[in-house]
Structure 1
């Protein structure tokens, strides 16, 4: 997340659950911001979040967290560009 700053975008803190978490949401865990790169549906309404750092977090159906979500014109969008991998 270095070297890029959003312009014209509004950041909003939103309460997320396993039903409304989105790719691009930034969750602070242990004082470190972690951006959701991918989501996997699990049984019982749970979701496994894969962060760009490669770490995993399982959100159960009753888990509630606060995330930073970028907004533009009232609609959320992918605020942070995906990482570029060299081949």
Structure 2
């Protein structure tokens, strides 16, 4: 599911693992949304996430969570043309 965001970005809910989590992802824990502020690599493919609130969460390599990820409009990885054109 994607939704329009006034900032010129698209928000999409995606499934993330320790291998795919990124800075800025928003994970809802309980009823509290938490934005990933920092990532620490741990042995065995695990990652420790530090949220903007200062709380920590350790994701095992097999952990799967749903997150909200902001994506720029015109993102080249999604097949849109680049924002600047050479003439």
Instruction: Normalising by structure 1, report the TM-score.
Output: 0.77
Give, in angstroms, the shift of residue 74 of structure 1.
Answer: 3.7
Residues 47 and 75 (structure 1), Cα distance of their counterparts in 2 relative to 1, 3 Å cut: farther
RMSD: 1.7
Structure 2 unaligned blocks of 5 or more: 78-87
* Alignment match, 1:44: 44
Cα distance between partner residues in 2 of 1:62 and 1:25? 18
| 1:27 has 2:2 as partner | no
Give the secondary-structure state (helix, strand or coil) at the position aligned to 2:54: coil
Give the secondary-structure state (helix, strand or coil) at the position aligned to 1:63: coil
Aligned residues between the structures: 72
Q: Which has the larger radius of gyration?
A: 2
Structure 1 segments, 4+ long, off by >2 Å, are 73-76
Map 1:6-17 onto structure 2 (within 5 A): 7-17=7-17
